[in-house]
Structure formats: C-alpha cells, structure tokens
Structure 1
Amino acid sequence: MENRNSGIMGQAKGIWSSLKNVAKQHTRPTRMPWNPAEQTKGGMEDKDRLAPDGQLRQGTSDPSRKGLAGWVSPTYTHSRAVSLNPLTAAANRCIAVSPDNTDVEAFKVIRTHILNRTANGGGRTIMVTSALPGEGKTVTAVNLSFTFAREFQQTVLLVDADLRRQQIHKLLGLNTGVGLGDYFLENRPLPDLIVWPGVEKLTLISGGAAVRDSAELVGSPRMKDLVQEMKNRYPERYIFFDVPPVLTAADTLALARLMDHILVVVAAGFTPIHDVRRALEVLPGEKVLGLVLNTRKSE
C-alpha cells in the first residue's frame, strides 16, 4: 500500500535504515520504527461513525465478539460540547476525523501496535513528541486519538500539553475556551477543562490560556497531581499528550517523567539523524514505544 495523504512513512529506504540503527541503540530491541506500508492486511476492523450532537452515543455491536454486544459508550453529560469543523480538520490533514477516509489505515496499524504493546498493563498515558518543530507530531497525535476512539469499546482523552504553541484547537477548528493553561493560571478543576467535540468516545483538553515559563509549571507537583488524577478518574482511557519537541523545550523532559509511554515522530528527509539520536538519548528509553515516520512537513 502506498500511503498518499496520511504522512506516515512507507518508503525512503535510506533514512529508514538509519533510523533502525538509532532505535537499536536507544530503545529495546523489539521496539522498531513501524512501517504501515508493509502491513496492508490483518488490521483491526472498526465500526467507524460519528454520533450527532445530543444523540445517545452507543457502542457498536459485533456478534463475533462474545460478551461485548450491546456495550454502550459513555455519555459526556459533564463535559462541555463543542463543534469541530470537518473542513478545517481535513485541510490540516486530520484525516481520521472522517470515518470514510481510506488513508487512515496507516494509523490503524499503529493503533494495533500500541494496543498489543500496552495490553498487559503498564499504563495508558502516551506522550507524542518529536526532535524538532515541524515534524508532524500534533497531526499524528490528533489522528491517533480519533483512530483509537473508533476501536470497539475504547475511550480516549486528547490533551494539548504544548503550552507554548497550542495547535489542536486550530487544527480542528474548535472554540474550546478554557484548557490546560487555565488549570495553572486560574486553578480550574479537571472536569472544567474537558470538552466533547461531538465524536463518540473521545474528549479533549485544549491548551487554554497562554502560559509563560511553561517548563516550570509542567514540572511542578500540580502537573504531577493532574496526570495522576486523569489516571485515577479514567483508568480505561488512552490519554494522548501532544507535547513540545524534545530538543527545543524543557517541558517535554519534565512531562516524560510522568508518562507511561512515548512516541517519537520523525519527518523523513527533514530531520537530521543526529537530532533523532539526541532526542532518544535524553528521553527515558524504556518508555519509548517506537518511532512514527512522517513523509510530510506539517507544522
């Protein structure tokens, strides 16, 4: 399968080989960069659909999955409803917003890898980062979150933790109001931060108010308390954090200590190999699930 729009790397053998060598040095041997183009079959089937505003958000039934038929997904009665703009999302390459986009298959393959590697516990908080700006980490975090939400009986929380350069609400055309920054600046509680964008089984926290000295805040005990509260409140949810690039902000290393897992997005043909190596050297290697190769500069 040749991927056209998703931005997940399928070719470019030269950089692929180099990145494999980097991964061998700084992550466990089984955690290689993923090549979705090599896996066109065997993906997990989805019941892809969006639930209209105000409608009961019911889980889909599959008779072949014993014990799961009739499962009902949560209704977010305490989360403020906002409306995303599908045209804005599509223009920003958030392709997984549309359940009918065939190019989302690459993200389904990545989802399968993550589900397999986290199936035996070990936590569900996943930090999505990159070595440098412009590698596509935010688009990847958004697309993975939407793809996970369409997995049967799986809920997701997407958090914009890049407080210096908040992008998620812009990519989706959202007017979210309060967000993570307001937790620090105005002592807003966690439930006030969460919004429901009209997508079944998915909620999000935007960046909110602009924050100066964000590294000090995300490295503070308050951030540790917030992450722990998320884990305690939502033990079954996958929680994706979009965070700043590793080599340009101290925020990321502070947040890495609080995360269960880390994904590193690499822009093929754009990111120098030595920068990928530097990023992996400073991140806790035991938490790195792998590298996601992106063929297009997007941020």
Structure 2
Amino acid sequence: GGALIGLVLGYIVEVADRSFRRPDEIVREFGLPIVGHIPYMQEQKLRKIPKDVTMDKTVIAMHLPRSRPSEAYRTVRTAVCFSAVGSQHRVIQVTSPAAGDGKSTLTANFAVSLAQSGKSTILVESDFRRPKVHKLMGVNNDTGVVNVLRGDAEISDAIQTTELENFDVMPCGSRPKNPSELITGPEYEHLLEALREKYEYVIIDSPPVLVVTDPCSVAPRTDGVLLCIRLGRHTREFGRRALEQLRDVGANITGLVVNGVEETDAYGYGNYSYSDYRYRYKDYNYGYESYQESGEAYFAESEEESSAGVSS
C-alpha cells in the first residue's frame, strides 16, 4: 500500500515538474524578461461589476482599474512602452503556446490599459477561427478585418469606437473558410501599415503558436511579440516549441507575460520578488494535453462558435 502511494506521488511530482510552477523557472529556461505577472481575478471582485456593462467583466482594466490585476496589466504596458522608446515599436502581437493560456483576456486588458494612458490604440482581431475580441469589447461583429482583407469593406467601415477615449476595435467580421491565406496575403500587411499610420499602438490578438501557422506569419510583420504563458497549464516543451517557432521566423520577442499567479496579501505586488506570490496548483492537469489534443480542443471550440455560419 505504502509503496503504491509512493509511486503515485512520485509520478505526480515528476509530471508536475514538466510544467512551469514559478516565474523564475521561466526566466532560467528562456532567458527572456517577464514583463508582467497576471493574478487570478477573485470571483467576489468580479461580482462587484454591474451586469449591464458593455465590455466583458474580464476586462477588469476597464471595470476595476484600482485592482491588483489591473495594476499588473499596467506593468505590462509600462514595460512595452519603455521598450518602444526611440523606436517604432508600435505594432504588438500577443500570442501563447496553446489554447487556455488567457491570451485574449490579456490582449484586451493590455490594449485598454494603453488607451487609458492616453495612447491612441486599436485592438485588431487576428484569430479568425476563434474570434473573441467582439465579445470581450461588446461591439458589433458584422464588419471587420476579414471583410477588409477580402476587399468587401474599407478600413474605416471595420473600425468601431468604444466608450473609452483613444480606443478603437477592429473585430473579425465574416468568418472565413481560408483564415491562413488571409493572414499570409499582402492585404494583411497593408492593413497593419495603414493602422500604424493612424494609431500609436496597434495590438493584435492572434491564435496560439502551436495550433496553427498564423501567428508565425503575423510575427515578422510586427514590432514586437508578447508570449503569454499560464503557470501549470502545459508542459515546458510547449513554451520551448513556441519560442523556437517564433524565433525561426525572426520575431522580436518583447517579453513573456506569466498568467495564473495567485496574489497574496503581501505588499509589493507587481515587482519581481517572487517571494510575494504563491502559485495555484489545483488547476494542474496531470494528464497534460499533447499538441494534438490542444489543437483538437481549439478547433472544437472554433466549430461551436461558428454556428452563426462561415463565409467564403
């Protein structure tokens, strides 16, 4: 009995060691700066947000600007703006190794935080299989990026203003049958250049790196890439492979954003002293999904979300 328990515990520890449990492990592994530590948002705090808000409740930078998670998003903003001093570091892509890392929520809050600082900002949907920007921002999705790329609409037709000053959104629009072809075509690059001329910051929400090829097609056209990694979500190999693929296409990786930090009452949140944090393990998936399983989950959700119809 005892021997069996020991074997089981040993297996759990061994598998748990295959994922990142602390931000400092990520720094040692990749040698890249962590530009933000994003904590879990406590449910009781989300309940304080009125039900009739336009933007989704998870866009807490908008709804609870004084909260610790909002401060964490401001830390990401500060790091990116600092890295952009004296350069044209204005088109920023946000991606993750696989589905479930909290990439879209990070992208939305980061973009809102930029606009709150007075920077003219546009959030551009580039995950055409699982678009979430319109839901997070509470905007109409009839006309968007896809319509512009296909020549069905002007850029101005696809841009939607929001309740936040300095902040616009370009949703997905019509769902395409050929998302990769649209991303890799010259029209997409022309769109980014046009938006670069109009806004101080263009923030791109793109699919996970290990699921489809789109993010690596987008990366060389941007000024910087933020890679979102959730603690305990995937094996370390996911992170290694994602960075390898981004580097292979010459991506300028601005930094890593660590998601899944559980805040404590310790003072000093937002600095780089890891002793101020404890980390959540109860969400560990000890079976760990493979790349194939991660992709299947991504596409399964894509199918569910496309019930409104897919256009050519």
Fold-level similarity (TM above 0.5): yes
Q: Counterpart of 1:22?
A: 29
How do 1:8-19 residues align onto structure 2 when only pairs under 5 Å count?
A: 14-19=21-26
TM-score, normalised by the number of residues in structure 2: 0.68
Aligned counterpart for 2:208 among listed residues 245, 250, 261:
245
SS in 2 for 1:231: helix
Q: Counterpart of 2:53?
A: 86
Aligned counterpart for 1:138 among listed residues 101, 104, 110:
104
Q: Counterpart of 1:267?
A: 230
TM-score, normalised by the number of residues in structure 1: 0.71
Aligned counterpart for 1:230 among listed residues 177, 195, 204:
195
| Higher helix fraction (1 or 2) | 2
Q: Would the alpha carbon gap of residues 293 and 208 (structure 1) be closer, same or farther in structure 2, given more than 3 Å must change? A: same
Shift of 1:186: 4.4
Distance 1:188 1:33 in 2: 39
Q: Counterpart of 1:119?
A: 85
SS in 1 for 2:221: coil
Distance 2:90 2:137 in 1: 24
Is residue 32 of structure 1 aligned with residue 39 of structure 2?
Answer: no
SS in 2 for 1:249: coil
From the CA coordinates, give the structure whose radius of gyration is larger. Answer: 2
SS in 2 for 1:204: strand
Runs (4+) of structure 1 exceeding 6 A deviation are: none
Please give the root-mean-square deviation of Cα atoms over the aligned residues, in Å: 2.3
Q: Would the alpha carbon gap of residues 22 and 211 (structure 1) be closer, same or farther in structure 2, given more than 3 Å must change? A: farther
Cα contact 1:164–1:212 (8 A) shared by 2: no
1:110-160 alpha-carbon deviations (Å, 9 max, x no partner): 111111111111330000000001111100000001111111x31111001
Is residue 110 of structure 1 aligned with residue 76 of structure 2?
Answer: yes
Shift of 1:286: 5.5
Cα contact 2:36–2:73 (8 A) shared by 1: no
1:228-263 alpha-carbon deviations (Å, 9 max, x no partner): 1112333xx111000000000111111112111000
Aligned counterpart for 1:187 among listed residues 152, 162, 165:
152
Shift of 1:35: 4.9
1:248-293 alpha-carbon deviations (Å, 9 max, x no partner): 0111111112111000001111021111010000113661011101
Q: Percent of counterpart pairs with the same letter?
A: 26
Is residue 282 of structure 1 aligned with residue 249 of structure 2?
Answer: no
Cα contact 1:85–1:172 (8 A) shared by 2: no
Cα contact 2:36–2:256 (8 A) shared by 1: no
Cα contact 1:141–1:240 (8 A) shared by 2: yes
- Counterpart of 1:133, as a letter, is A
Distance 1:112 1:155 in 2: 15
Shift of 1:99: 5.4
Cα contact 1:85–1:174 (8 A) shared by 2: no
SS in 1 for 2:157: helix
Q: Would the alpha carbon gap of residues 157 and 85 (structure 1) be closer, same or farther in structure 2, given more than 3 Å must change? A: farther
Cα contact 2:20–2:26 (8 A) shared by 1: no
Q: Please, which runs of 5 or more residues in structure 2 have no aligned partner?
A: 1-18, 39-50, 262-282, 284-300, 302-312
